[in-house]
Structure 1
Amino acid sequence: MTGPTHGELPSSLGSGRVGIRLIHKRDAKVLERFLREDRQWLGPWEATHPGGLNPTPGSVTLKPVIKRLRQQFQEGRGVPFVMTYDGEVVGQLSASDISRGALWSGSIGYWIASEYAGRGITPVAVALAIDYLFSTIGLHRVEICIRPENSASLRIVEKLGLRYEGRRKSYIHIDGAWRDHESFAVTRDEVHGSMLARLDD
């Protein structure tokens, strides 16, 4: 690996008014509020349990979840971020399924509160995360899988110039059913400079 696989993130992961940082237990309250009050916005894109063992929407207590996510970070299996705007938490972004061995790959997922959508926050946050995963974690490949109906997320990967790899049928259980996803990816050798610079091209 070319960099550390665990530990605190540097404080300089930001561009202008947008930033990402490692999630903390103190973030639970604001994230729970978004998840509770923004059901119409977030519900159609949330992962669900195929056996129907789903909590009441917005009722999840996040502190134990955050503890598990931070443990995964310490083990090198994921990187759980929050997205910030002017220093305030506005959503969540996670790098998960980080693989070593012959693969060196990871997957990114994210959500942002509706009141902050459309301000260009998420593309910058995703670019920052990918640059971190390549330069610090040392990954070779990062992918993002998106439901075909999620036009806002599709615009993000388009802005960042991620390569389309195809449709995965019935890939993830979302909003109560198995849903198709479009798969996009980028490898480190495809990035000349940084992902963040692609937004300025």
Structure 2
Amino acid sequence: MKLGPLQVAAGTVALRPIRLRDAGEWSKARLHDRSHLEKWEPSAPGSWADRNAFLSWPSQWAALRSLARRGQCLPFAITVDGAFAGQITVGNVIRASLRSAWVGYWVSSKIVRGGVATAAVALVADHVFTVGGLHRLEATVRPENTPSLRVLAKAGFREEGLFRRYLDVAGGWRDHLCFAITSEEIGDGLVPRLVASGRAEYADH
């Protein structure tokens, strides 16, 4: 399964399932972008180098694949012009009367401000609201993370409120803003809305 492609300033963006052979590009990007990523991501045991080493990817890939098989997670690689450029994950998928999930993402520092993250969020949101059958998708972001706040606003998410001391990030309990969107709010879809705004174009398959 592949979502996209969309043409943005940084190149041609598409989403595909994560692969075991992504290890090399994943580790290279994560180690290079420590200063770009670590201050926004949840705290975890071990050093950044250990957690993002080539050999740490297989266990992370297997864990995400296991959650995906149980219908609890949708893990995608973000590609730009066919090359691995980041990840976007729909997690904590809950069915029944809630039909909700969260979305989290990161992209390489080499392509920030090129429209990649916004395109990825729009692509994955349209997927979960149609094929995935969800009703609500939310994202939490630190108030200081201005680029990510812009991504969600451009994608069409609305701010719902502030979660105090919500998540352990960079060694402390940090406040996060909650953003969300529901199936009633997407209209014809976030991708068509993004294209209509001039922020993306449909790319040739």
**TM-score, scaled to structure 2:** 0.89
Write the letter of the residue equivalent to 2:46.
P
Which structure 1 segments of 5+ residues have no match? 1-9
Which structure 2 segments of 5+ residues have no match? 198-205
Partner of 2:46: 55
| SS at 1:13 equivalent | strand
The separation in 1 between residues aligned to 2:69 and 2:156, in whole angstroms, is 30
The separation in 2 between residues aligned to 1:196 and 1:47, in whole angstroms, is 29
What is the Cα deviation at residue 39 of structure 1? Answer: 1.0
1:14 and 2:9 aligned: no
- % identity of equivalent residues: 34
Partner of 2:41: 46
The separation in 1 between residues aligned to 2:4 and 2:34, in whole angstroms, is 29
1:25 and 2:20 aligned: yes
1:181 and 2:172 aligned: no
**TM-score, scaled to structure 1:** 0.90
Question: Closer, same or farther in 2 for the Cα pair 1:191/1:174, shift >3 Å?
Answer: same
Partner of 1:194: 189
The answer (yes or no) to whether the contact 1:18–1:124 under 8 Å persists in 2 is yes
The answer (yes or no) to whether the contact 2:2–2:17 under 8 Å persists in 1 is no
The answer (yes or no) to whether the contact 1:32–1:58 under 8 Å persists in 2 is no
RMSD of equivalent CA atoms: 1.1
Write the letter of the residue equivalent to 1:58.
A
Q: Aligned pair count?
A: 188
| SS at 1:58 equivalent | helix
What is the Cα deviation at residue 198 of structure 1? Answer: 2.2
The separation in 1 between residues aligned to 2:167 and 2:187, in whole angstroms, is 32
Partner of 1:6: none
| SS at 1:153 equivalent | helix
Partner of 1:92: 87
Partner of 1:105: 100
The separation in 1 between residues aligned to 2:134 and 2:171, in whole angstroms, is 32
The answer (yes or no) to whether the contact 2:119–2:155 under 8 Å persists in 1 is no
Deviating beyond 2 angstroms after TM superposition, the runs of 4 or more aligned structure 1 residues are 10-14
Write the letter of the residue equivalent to 1:76.
G
The separation in 2 between residues aligned to 1:110 and 1:161, in whole angstroms, is 16
Give CA-to-partner distance per residue, 1:114-153, whole Å, 9 cap, x none: 0111111110001000011111110000001100000000
The answer (yes or no) to whether the contact 2:20–2:58 under 8 Å persists in 1 is yes
| SS at 1:83 equivalent | strand
The answer (yes or no) to whether the contact 1:123–1:156 under 8 Å persists in 2 is yes
The separation in 1 between residues aligned to 2:145 and 2:111, in whole angstroms, is 17
The answer (yes or no) to whether the contact 2:2–2:14 under 8 Å persists in 1 is no
